[in-house]
Structure 1
Protein backbone atom coordinates (compact mmCIF):
# COMPACT_ATOMS: atom_id res chain seq x y z
CA UNK A 1 0.00 0.00 0.00
CA UNK A 2 1.37 3.38 -1.04
CA UNK A 3 1.92 5.84 1.80
CA UNK A 4 0.88 9.46 1.37
CA UNK A 5 2.41 12.03 3.69
CA UNK A 6 -0.49 14.47 3.98
CA UNK A 7 1.28 16.60 6.60
CA UNK A 8 4.18 17.07 4.22
CA UNK A 9 1.83 18.07 1.39
CA UNK A 10 -0.09 20.48 3.61
CA UNK A 11 3.06 22.15 4.91
CA UNK A 12 4.41 22.39 1.38
CA UNK A 13 1.23 24.11 0.17
CA UNK A 14 1.41 26.70 2.95
CA UNK A 15 5.11 27.30 2.32
CA UNK A 16 4.65 27.75 -1.43
CA UNK A 17 1.74 30.16 -1.00
CA UNK A 18 3.80 32.22 1.44
CA UNK A 19 6.88 32.32 -0.77
CA UNK A 20 5.20 32.81 -4.16
CA UNK A 21 2.73 35.26 -2.54
CA UNK A 22 0.61 36.17 -5.61
CA UNK A 23 -0.58 39.51 -4.21
CA UNK A 24 3.02 40.67 -3.82
CA UNK A 25 3.59 40.33 -7.57
CA UNK A 26 0.83 42.75 -8.65
CA UNK A 27 2.76 46.09 -8.49
CA UNK A 28 5.65 44.87 -10.63
CA UNK A 29 3.46 42.91 -13.02
CA UNK A 30 1.06 45.78 -13.73
CA UNK A 31 3.92 47.93 -15.01
CA UNK A 32 5.72 45.12 -16.82
CA UNK A 33 2.62 43.99 -18.74
CA UNK A 34 1.19 47.42 -19.55
CA UNK A 35 -0.87 47.09 -22.70
CA UNK A 36 -4.30 47.99 -23.99
CA UNK A 37 -4.82 44.49 -25.33
CA UNK A 38 -6.20 41.87 -22.96
CA UNK A 39 -4.96 39.05 -25.17
CA UNK A 40 -1.41 40.35 -24.80
CA UNK A 41 -1.63 40.34 -20.99
CA UNK A 42 -3.27 36.90 -20.91
CA UNK A 43 -0.68 35.29 -23.18
CA UNK A 44 2.25 36.99 -21.45
CA UNK A 45 1.05 35.89 -18.00
CA UNK A 46 0.46 32.35 -19.26
CA UNK A 47 3.94 32.15 -20.77
CA UNK A 48 5.69 33.50 -17.67
CA UNK A 49 3.75 31.29 -15.24
CA UNK A 50 4.16 28.20 -17.45
CA UNK A 51 7.93 28.69 -17.61
CA UNK A 52 8.08 29.13 -13.83
CA UNK A 53 6.06 25.93 -13.43
CA UNK A 54 8.56 24.04 -15.59
CA UNK A 55 11.47 25.42 -13.54
CA UNK A 56 9.92 24.58 -10.16
CA UNK A 57 8.73 21.12 -11.23
CA UNK A 58 12.19 20.34 -12.58
CA UNK A 59 13.82 21.23 -9.27
CA UNK A 60 11.11 19.37 -7.36
CA UNK A 61 11.90 16.14 -9.19
CA UNK A 62 15.59 16.51 -9.97
CA UNK A 63 16.93 19.36 -7.81
CA UNK A 64 18.53 17.18 -5.16
CA UNK A 65 20.30 15.04 -7.75
CA UNK A 66 21.47 18.16 -9.59
CA UNK A 67 22.98 19.73 -6.49
CA UNK A 68 24.65 16.45 -5.55
CA UNK A 69 26.11 16.07 -9.03
CA UNK A 70 27.48 19.62 -8.82
CA UNK A 71 28.68 18.95 -5.26
CA UNK A 72 26.66 21.94 -4.01
CA UNK A 73 24.87 21.59 -0.68
CA UNK A 74 21.64 23.33 0.32
CA UNK A 75 23.49 25.71 2.65
CA UNK A 76 25.59 27.10 -0.19
CA UNK A 77 22.51 27.28 -2.36
CA UNK A 78 20.72 29.37 0.27
CA UNK A 79 23.66 31.78 0.50
CA UNK A 80 23.80 32.27 -3.28
CA UNK A 81 20.04 32.59 -3.57
CA UNK A 82 19.99 35.05 -0.70
CA UNK A 83 22.48 37.29 -2.49
CA UNK A 84 20.26 37.36 -5.58
CA UNK A 85 17.19 38.19 -3.52
CA UNK A 86 19.10 40.85 -1.59
CA UNK A 87 20.07 42.66 -4.78
CA UNK A 88 16.54 42.55 -6.14
CA UNK A 89 15.07 43.66 -2.80
CA UNK A 90 17.25 46.78 -2.82
CA UNK A 91 16.24 47.52 -6.42
CA UNK A 92 12.57 47.29 -5.39
CA UNK A 93 13.21 49.62 -2.48
CA UNK A 94 14.69 52.20 -4.86
CA UNK A 95 12.01 51.62 -7.46
CA UNK A 96 14.50 50.62 -10.14
CA UNK A 97 13.13 47.09 -10.48
CA UNK A 98 9.82 48.45 -11.74
CA UNK A 99 11.46 51.02 -14.01
CA UNK A 100 13.57 48.37 -15.66
CA UNK A 101 10.48 46.30 -16.32
CA UNK A 102 8.40 49.06 -17.91
CA UNK A 103 6.88 48.16 -21.24
CA UNK A 104 8.26 49.82 -24.34
CA UNK A 105 6.23 50.95 -27.27
CA UNK A 106 6.72 48.73 -30.30
CA UNK A 107 5.46 48.79 -33.87
CA UNK A 108 4.92 45.06 -34.01
CA UNK A 109 1.48 44.04 -35.17
CA UNK A 110 1.83 40.30 -34.67
CA UNK A 111 0.58 39.45 -31.17
CA UNK A 112 2.77 36.37 -30.80
CA UNK A 113 5.96 38.23 -31.71
CA UNK A 114 5.07 41.06 -29.35
CA UNK A 115 4.42 38.65 -26.47
CA UNK A 116 7.66 36.74 -27.07
CA UNK A 117 9.69 39.94 -27.23
CA UNK A 118 8.17 41.26 -24.01
CA UNK A 119 8.65 37.87 -22.37
CA UNK A 120 12.38 38.02 -23.12
CA UNK A 121 12.54 41.48 -21.55
CA UNK A 122 10.73 40.73 -18.29
CA UNK A 123 11.26 37.05 -17.47
CA UNK A 124 14.29 38.19 -15.50
CA UNK A 125 13.52 39.47 -12.89
CA UNK A 126 9.77 38.68 -12.83
CA UNK A 127 10.06 34.98 -13.64
CA UNK A 128 13.41 34.52 -11.91
CA UNK A 129 14.03 35.49 -9.14
CA UNK A 130 10.63 37.01 -8.23
CA UNK A 131 8.41 33.95 -8.86
CA UNK A 132 10.69 30.94 -9.34
CA UNK A 133 13.37 32.41 -7.13
CA UNK A 134 15.82 30.92 -4.65
CA UNK A 135 13.16 30.71 -1.94
CA UNK A 136 10.74 28.74 -4.08
CA UNK A 137 13.47 26.59 -5.65
CA UNK A 138 15.03 25.78 -2.28
CA UNK A 139 11.60 24.92 -0.89
CA UNK A 140 10.73 22.49 -3.68
CA UNK A 141 14.15 20.84 -3.43
CA UNK A 142 13.83 20.34 0.33
CA UNK A 143 10.28 18.99 0.22
CA UNK A 144 11.01 16.88 -2.83
CA UNK A 145 13.90 15.32 -0.93
CA UNK A 146 11.63 14.60 2.06
CA UNK A 147 9.08 12.80 -0.12
CA UNK A 148 9.32 9.04 0.33
CA UNK A 149 6.86 7.85 -2.32
CA UNK A 150 6.14 8.54 -5.97
CA UNK A 151 2.51 9.41 -5.26
CA UNK A 152 3.50 11.96 -2.64
CA UNK A 153 5.86 13.54 -5.14
CA UNK A 154 3.03 13.67 -7.67
CA UNK A 155 0.78 15.42 -5.15
CA UNK A 156 3.55 17.92 -4.40
CA UNK A 157 3.63 18.61 -8.14
CA UNK A 158 -0.13 19.23 -8.07
CA UNK A 159 0.42 21.76 -5.27
CA UNK A 160 2.98 23.63 -7.39
CA UNK A 161 0.55 23.80 -10.31
CA UNK A 162 -2.31 24.93 -8.04
CA UNK A 163 -0.26 27.73 -6.44
CA UNK A 164 0.91 28.98 -9.83
CA UNK A 165 -2.68 28.86 -11.13
CA UNK A 166 -3.68 31.16 -8.28
CA UNK A 167 -0.76 33.40 -9.25
CA UNK A 168 -1.88 33.42 -12.89
CA UNK A 169 -5.41 34.50 -11.98
CA UNK A 170 -4.02 37.17 -9.65
CA UNK A 171 -1.78 38.60 -12.37
CA UNK A 172 -4.71 38.85 -14.76
CA UNK A 173 -6.58 40.96 -12.21
CA UNK A 174 -3.66 43.35 -11.82
CA UNK A 175 -4.96 45.99 -14.24
CA UNK A 176 -8.37 45.98 -12.57
CA UNK A 177 -6.78 46.51 -9.16
CA UNK A 178 -4.60 49.29 -10.54
CA UNK A 179 -7.62 51.09 -11.99
CA UNK A 180 -9.38 50.89 -8.63
CA UNK A 181 -6.57 51.95 -6.28
CA UNK A 182 -4.26 53.95 -8.58
CA UNK A 183 -0.49 53.87 -9.01
CA UNK A 184 0.70 55.32 -5.70
CA UNK A 185 -0.60 52.53 -3.42
CA UNK A 186 0.88 49.88 -5.71
CA UNK A 187 4.19 51.72 -5.78
CA UNK A 188 4.23 51.89 -1.98
CA UNK A 189 3.34 48.20 -1.75
CA UNK A 190 6.24 47.38 -4.06
CA UNK A 191 8.68 49.17 -1.76
CA UNK A 192 7.22 47.53 1.35
CA UNK A 193 7.64 44.12 -0.21
CA UNK A 194 11.15 45.13 -1.15
CA UNK A 195 11.90 45.33 2.57
CA UNK A 196 10.27 41.94 3.09
CA UNK A 197 12.36 40.43 0.28
CA UNK A 198 15.51 41.85 1.88
CA UNK A 199 14.52 40.26 5.21
CA UNK A 200 13.89 36.90 3.51
CA UNK A 201 17.24 37.17 1.72
CA UNK A 202 19.08 37.83 4.99
CA UNK A 203 17.29 34.90 6.63
CA UNK A 204 18.36 32.54 3.84
CA UNK A 205 21.94 33.74 4.11
CA UNK A 206 21.96 33.37 7.91
CA UNK A 207 20.64 29.82 7.61
CA UNK A 208 23.28 29.01 5.03
CA UNK A 209 26.14 30.56 6.99
CA UNK A 210 24.99 28.80 10.18
CA UNK A 211 25.66 25.49 8.44
CA UNK A 212 28.81 26.43 6.55
CA UNK A 213 30.29 28.33 9.51
CA UNK A 214 28.54 26.95 12.62
CA UNK A 215 30.87 28.88 14.92
CA UNK A 216 29.71 32.22 13.54
CA UNK A 217 26.01 31.81 14.36
CA UNK A 218 25.06 30.83 17.90
Structure 2
Protein backbone atom coordinates (compact mmCIF):
# COMPACT_ATOMS: atom_id res chain seq x y z
CA UNK A 1 0.00 0.00 0.00
CA UNK A 2 1.22 3.48 -0.90
CA UNK A 3 1.26 5.08 2.56
CA UNK A 4 2.53 8.40 1.22
CA UNK A 5 -0.43 8.65 -1.15
CA UNK A 6 -2.80 7.59 1.66
CA UNK A 7 -1.39 10.33 3.90
CA UNK A 8 -1.83 12.89 1.13
CA UNK A 9 -5.46 11.89 0.53
CA UNK A 10 -6.27 11.81 4.26
CA UNK A 11 -4.62 15.12 5.17
CA UNK A 12 -5.99 16.97 2.12
CA UNK A 13 -9.58 15.88 2.67
CA UNK A 14 -9.34 16.37 6.45
CA UNK A 15 -8.16 19.96 6.01
CA UNK A 16 -10.92 20.67 3.48
CA UNK A 17 -13.70 19.11 5.59
CA UNK A 18 -12.27 20.72 8.76
CA UNK A 19 -14.00 18.72 11.55
CA UNK A 20 -13.15 21.23 14.34
CA UNK A 21 -14.54 24.06 12.23
CA UNK A 22 -17.69 22.02 11.64
CA UNK A 23 -18.50 21.79 15.35
CA UNK A 24 -19.88 25.37 15.83
CA UNK A 25 -22.17 25.07 12.79
CA UNK A 26 -23.25 21.54 13.76
CA UNK A 27 -24.08 22.65 17.29
CA UNK A 28 -25.90 25.73 16.02
CA UNK A 29 -28.11 23.59 13.78
CA UNK A 30 -28.67 20.80 16.31
CA UNK A 31 -28.53 22.73 19.59
CA UNK A 32 -32.22 22.17 20.39
CA UNK A 33 -32.07 18.41 19.75
CA UNK A 34 -31.73 15.72 22.36
CA UNK A 35 -28.34 14.03 22.61
CA UNK A 36 -29.73 10.94 20.87
CA UNK A 37 -31.16 12.95 17.97
CA UNK A 38 -27.91 14.90 17.66
CA UNK A 39 -25.90 11.67 17.39
CA UNK A 40 -28.34 10.37 14.79
CA UNK A 41 -28.10 13.62 12.82
CA UNK A 42 -24.30 13.44 12.86
CA UNK A 43 -24.39 9.83 11.65
CA UNK A 44 -26.84 10.68 8.85
CA UNK A 45 -24.73 13.65 7.77
CA UNK A 46 -21.53 11.60 7.64
CA UNK A 47 -23.19 8.74 5.73
CA UNK A 48 -24.65 11.17 3.19
CA UNK A 49 -21.31 12.95 2.80
CA UNK A 50 -19.58 9.60 2.30
CA UNK A 51 -22.10 8.59 -0.34
CA UNK A 52 -21.84 11.90 -2.21
CA UNK A 53 -18.02 11.93 -2.21
CA UNK A 54 -17.78 8.28 -3.31
CA UNK A 55 -20.43 8.87 -5.97
CA UNK A 56 -18.55 11.81 -7.45
CA UNK A 57 -15.27 9.90 -7.20
CA UNK A 58 -16.75 7.10 -9.30
CA UNK A 59 -18.91 8.99 -11.79
CA UNK A 60 -18.55 12.70 -11.05
CA UNK A 61 -16.69 13.79 -14.17
CA UNK A 62 -18.97 11.72 -16.42
CA UNK A 63 -22.06 13.25 -14.80
CA UNK A 64 -20.78 16.83 -15.07
CA UNK A 65 -19.76 16.29 -18.70
CA UNK A 66 -23.19 14.84 -19.49
CA UNK A 67 -24.95 17.83 -17.92
CA UNK A 68 -22.45 20.27 -19.50
CA UNK A 69 -21.69 21.65 -16.03
CA UNK A 70 -18.26 22.97 -15.04
CA UNK A 71 -16.85 22.48 -11.55
CA UNK A 72 -17.07 26.23 -10.76
CA UNK A 73 -20.86 26.03 -11.27
CA UNK A 74 -21.01 23.31 -8.62
CA UNK A 75 -18.93 25.49 -6.33
CA UNK A 76 -21.16 28.52 -6.86
CA UNK A 77 -24.31 26.48 -6.21
CA UNK A 78 -22.85 25.28 -2.91
CA UNK A 79 -22.06 28.87 -1.97
CA UNK A 80 -25.60 30.06 -2.68
CA UNK A 81 -27.05 27.23 -0.59
CA UNK A 82 -24.79 28.16 2.32
CA UNK A 83 -25.90 31.80 2.07
CA UNK A 84 -29.50 30.71 2.70
CA UNK A 85 -28.47 28.61 5.71
CA UNK A 86 -26.31 31.43 7.09
CA UNK A 87 -29.25 33.85 6.90
CA UNK A 88 -31.40 31.39 8.85
CA UNK A 89 -28.76 31.12 11.56
CA UNK A 90 -28.29 34.88 11.78
CA UNK A 91 -32.03 35.55 12.04
CA UNK A 92 -32.67 32.67 14.44
CA UNK A 93 -35.20 30.92 12.20
CA UNK A 94 -33.74 27.43 12.64
CA UNK A 95 -35.23 26.78 16.08
CA UNK A 96 -38.82 26.12 15.03
CA UNK A 97 -38.18 23.22 12.59
CA UNK A 98 -35.91 21.55 15.12
CA UNK A 99 -38.63 21.64 17.77
CA UNK A 100 -41.21 20.22 15.40
CA UNK A 101 -39.07 17.21 14.66
CA UNK A 102 -37.97 18.14 11.16
CA UNK A 103 -34.37 17.59 12.13
CA UNK A 104 -33.39 15.02 9.55
CA UNK A 105 -33.31 17.73 6.84
CA UNK A 106 -30.69 19.61 8.85
CA UNK A 107 -28.52 16.49 8.93
CA UNK A 108 -28.75 16.07 5.17
CA UNK A 109 -28.70 19.74 4.11
CA UNK A 110 -26.58 21.70 4.89
CA UNK A 111 -24.47 19.47 7.21
CA UNK A 112 -24.12 16.41 4.98
CA UNK A 113 -23.87 18.52 1.87
CA UNK A 114 -22.50 21.06 1.09
CA UNK A 115 -20.64 21.45 4.42
CA UNK A 116 -19.07 17.98 4.65
CA UNK A 117 -19.37 16.87 1.04
CA UNK A 118 -18.81 20.29 -0.43
CA UNK A 119 -17.27 21.43 -3.71
CA UNK A 120 -13.76 21.39 -2.21
CA UNK A 121 -13.95 17.78 -1.04
CA UNK A 122 -15.65 16.66 -4.25
CA UNK A 123 -13.12 18.35 -6.54
CA UNK A 124 -10.14 17.11 -4.49
CA UNK A 125 -11.45 13.54 -4.61
CA UNK A 126 -12.04 13.71 -8.36
CA UNK A 127 -8.49 14.97 -8.87
CA UNK A 128 -7.07 12.12 -6.75
CA UNK A 129 -9.04 9.61 -8.84
CA UNK A 130 -7.64 11.13 -12.04
CA UNK A 131 -4.10 10.74 -10.64
CA UNK A 132 -4.59 7.16 -9.45
CA UNK A 133 -2.83 4.41 -11.35
CA UNK A 134 -4.20 0.92 -10.83
CA UNK A 135 -6.51 -0.74 -8.32
CA UNK A 136 -4.10 -0.29 -5.39
CA UNK A 137 -4.27 3.50 -5.55
CA UNK A 138 -8.05 3.47 -5.98
CA UNK A 139 -8.17 1.39 -2.80
CA UNK A 140 -5.91 3.90 -1.05
CA UNK A 141 -8.30 6.73 -1.99
CA UNK A 142 -11.26 4.74 -0.65
CA UNK A 143 -9.46 4.06 2.65
CA UNK A 144 -8.49 7.73 2.94
CA UNK A 145 -12.10 8.85 2.45
CA UNK A 146 -13.34 6.33 5.04
CA UNK A 147 -10.75 7.48 7.59
CA UNK A 148 -11.70 11.13 7.11
CA UNK A 149 -15.42 10.39 7.50
CA UNK A 150 -14.70 8.29 10.61
CA UNK A 151 -12.76 11.21 12.10
CA UNK A 152 -15.64 13.59 11.36
CA UNK A 153 -18.16 11.19 12.91
CA UNK A 154 -16.10 10.93 16.11
CA UNK A 155 -15.88 14.73 16.40
CA UNK A 156 -19.62 15.17 15.86
CA UNK A 157 -20.44 12.20 18.09
CA UNK A 158 -18.87 13.85 21.13
CA UNK A 159 -20.05 17.38 20.39
CA UNK A 160 -22.79 16.85 23.00
CA UNK A 161 -20.17 17.48 25.70
CA UNK A 162 -19.75 20.99 24.32
CA UNK A 163 -23.54 21.52 24.38
CA UNK A 164 -23.64 20.69 28.09
CA UNK A 165 -20.90 23.20 28.79
CA UNK A 166 -22.42 26.01 26.71
CA UNK A 167 -26.06 25.66 27.81
CA UNK A 168 -28.93 27.37 25.88
CA UNK A 169 -27.56 30.92 26.15
CA UNK A 170 -24.16 29.81 24.86
CA UNK A 171 -25.77 27.90 21.99
CA UNK A 172 -27.69 31.05 21.04
CA UNK A 173 -24.48 33.09 20.85
CA UNK A 174 -22.71 30.27 19.00
CA UNK A 175 -25.55 30.13 16.48
CA UNK A 176 -25.08 33.78 15.53
CA UNK A 177 -21.29 33.40 15.28
CA UNK A 178 -21.69 30.24 13.19
CA UNK A 179 -24.08 32.11 10.88
CA UNK A 180 -21.51 34.85 10.35
CA UNK A 181 -18.72 32.33 9.67
CA UNK A 182 -20.95 30.35 7.33
CA UNK A 183 -21.83 33.52 5.41
CA UNK A 184 -18.11 34.24 4.99
CA UNK A 185 -17.49 30.69 3.72
CA UNK A 186 -20.39 31.05 1.28
CA UNK A 187 -19.10 34.37 -0.09
CA UNK A 188 -15.63 32.85 -0.51
CA UNK A 189 -17.07 29.88 -2.42
CA UNK A 190 -19.00 32.17 -4.75
CA UNK A 191 -15.96 34.42 -5.26
CA UNK A 192 -13.77 31.40 -6.06
CA UNK A 193 -16.40 30.15 -8.51
CA UNK A 194 -16.52 33.52 -10.28
CA UNK A 195 -12.72 33.59 -10.45
CA UNK A 196 -12.65 30.08 -11.89
CA UNK A 197 -15.26 31.04 -14.52
CA UNK A 198 -13.17 34.08 -15.51
CA UNK A 199 -10.07 31.87 -15.89
CA UNK A 200 -12.03 29.37 -18.01
CA UNK A 201 -13.25 32.15 -20.28
CA UNK A 202 -9.72 33.53 -20.58
CA UNK A 203 -8.40 30.10 -21.58
CA UNK A 204 -11.26 29.72 -24.06
CA UNK A 205 -10.34 33.01 -25.71
TM over 0.5: yes
Q: 1:68 to 1:56 in 2, by over 3 A?
A: same
Match of 2:93 among 99, 103, 106: 99
1:4-83 superposed matches below 5 A? 6-34=3-31, 37-72=34-69, 76-83=70-77
Q: State the partner residue of 1:192.
A: 181
Q: Whole-Å Cα distance in 2 between the matches of residues 148 and 36 of structure 1?
A: 45
Q: How many residue pairs end up in the alignment?
A: 201
- 1:97 Cα deviation from its structure 2 partner: 8.4
Q: Whole-Å Cα distance in 1 between the matches of residues 113 and 95 of structure 2?
A: 13
Task: Report which of the two has the higher share of helix.
Answer: 2
Structure 2: tracts of 5 or more residues without a match = none
More deviation in 78-87 or 20-29?
A: 78-87
Q: 1:98 to 1:14 in 2, by over 3 A?
A: farther
Q: Whole-Å Cα distance in 2 between the matches of residues 196 and 45 of structure 1?
A: 21
Structure 1: tracts of 5 or more residues without a match = 107-113
Match of 1:169 among 154, 157, 162: 154
Q: Whole-Å Cα distance in 1 between the matches of residues 124 and 95 of structure 2?
A: 26
- 1:132 Cα deviation from its structure 2 partner: 1.0
Q: State the partner residue of 1:110.
A: none
Give 3-state SS (helix, strand or coil) of 1:148's partner: coil
The answer as to 2:129 corresponding to 1:140 is: no
4+ runs deviating over 6 angstroms: none
Q: Whole-Å Cα distance in 1 between the matches of residues 204 and 63 of structure 2?
A: 28
Q: Whole-Å Cα distance in 1 between the matches of residues 96 and 156 of structure 2?
A: 16
Q: Whole-Å Cα distance in 2 between the matches of residues 127 and 101 of structure 1?
A: 19
Contact 1:16 1:139 in 2 (8 A): yes
- 1:36 Cα deviation from its structure 2 partner: 6.1
- 1:197 Cα deviation from its structure 2 partner: 4.1
- 1:128 Cα deviation from its structure 2 partner: 1.4
How big is the alpha-carbon RMSD for the aligned residues of Structure 1 and Structure 2? 3.0
The answer as to 2:197 corresponding to 1:180 is: no
Q: State the partner residue of 1:123.
A: 108
Contact 1:85 1:134 in 2 (8 A): no
TM-score of the pair, normalised by structure 1? 0.75
Q: Whole-Å Cα distance in 1 between the matches of residues 84 and 99 of structure 2?
A: 27
TM-score of the pair, normalised by structure 2? 0.79
Q: Whole-Å Cα distance in 2 between the matches of residues 129 and 70 of structure 1?
A: 19
